[in-house]
Chain A
Amino acid sequence: MIISVASGKGGTGKTTVATNLAASLGKGVCLLDCDVEEPNAHLFLAPNVTEADEILTFVPRIDEEKCTGCGKCSAICRFRALTVVRGKVLVFPELCHSCGGCVAVCEEDAVLEEWRVLGTLESGQAGDIKFVHGRLRIGEAMSPPLIKAVRKKGFTADGITIIDAPPGTSCPVIAAIRGVDFVLMVTEPTPFGLHDLKLGVEAVRSLGIPYGLVVNRADIGDDRVRNYAARENIPILLEIPFERKIAEAYSTGRMIIDVLPEWKGRFVELYGKLAACAGN
């Protein structure tokens, strides 16, 4: 069972839900933090990182002795990562999407393999929980390949995998929710929350994955999120009220279940509900 915790809007409580759910279920759970631009789950689970690897992606390097300056590599590159100036090929590695087209078209075998660091993949144990996250290198634009690497590293055929997804609805989010069994959308009952929830729902629907809602800070804002959920037949699986105690615990890196242990049962119950929705 793979569950992605997602939201269109940032700061709605994805990491709170993902970490509390993982810690409440405990043994046999794997948590994958796929918000590789700003990973935060480790701040709450304090994993003991035992493995760290750099994740690399292909970028071309030109063997100038072999290169004839024919320009075929530059012509196939849709990302303008190669350009020919006065018979010499210039490479802009930051623009490269690693498609390998330049290698394939070069008749002189003058395009060599070089590597660009996308970020770091770190894994270990947080108590009973298996933990994996990625950290995008500062200045790196492409996060989806690193997100895929996190999912690959943490993949297990059995047990429960919880993915903490990045905010938004574009390619990094798709990389974090594609092929999962259930998407738990975390929202807040405000106009911003509703606006982005609708976009998030569209994204999940386009992938045909079952989904349900967690309404965080449930007692602020207005009723429009609940009305929307009722109209669209989207199940609200859990509501978390705004409590200063929760907000303060969060600010210091503690989970809800650390300060309000009665919530552990509610998160276990949340899993039961979502598993029923997912048809497992």
Chain B
Amino acid sequence: MVVGLAVVLLCQLVGEIFAYLTHLPIPAAVVGLVLLFGFFLVRDRWEWLPFSLRSEEIDKTCETLVQQMALLFVPAGVGIVQRLGILQANVLGVLAIIVVTTAISITVTAFTFRLVSRWFPAPAEGQE
């Protein structure tokens, strides 16, 4: 767990430094994701890496974080108690933004994905 968390945080930290120094509009966590992905790619080939970096521990930490991701949104979501006034004053518009645009977004994205994957068919594994 400790090794796993250290590696994940290190990736995010490097992402933070990268975003700060380059002024690129790239979120630090996304840079961290790319770095960790790169690490997974080379891990099995670089046999000289210390054992703790090649252990399953890192995978387990990542698995736990991904599985419990929904919980992590709760503290920010509870913030609604602080903004009830402004939200109530614009309740229809805010509801439209939360519900309608999300439905549009899901619909358009799903149809685009399906349409394009018919033009560029991948091997059938992804299909049901």
Q: Do A and B bind each other?
A: no
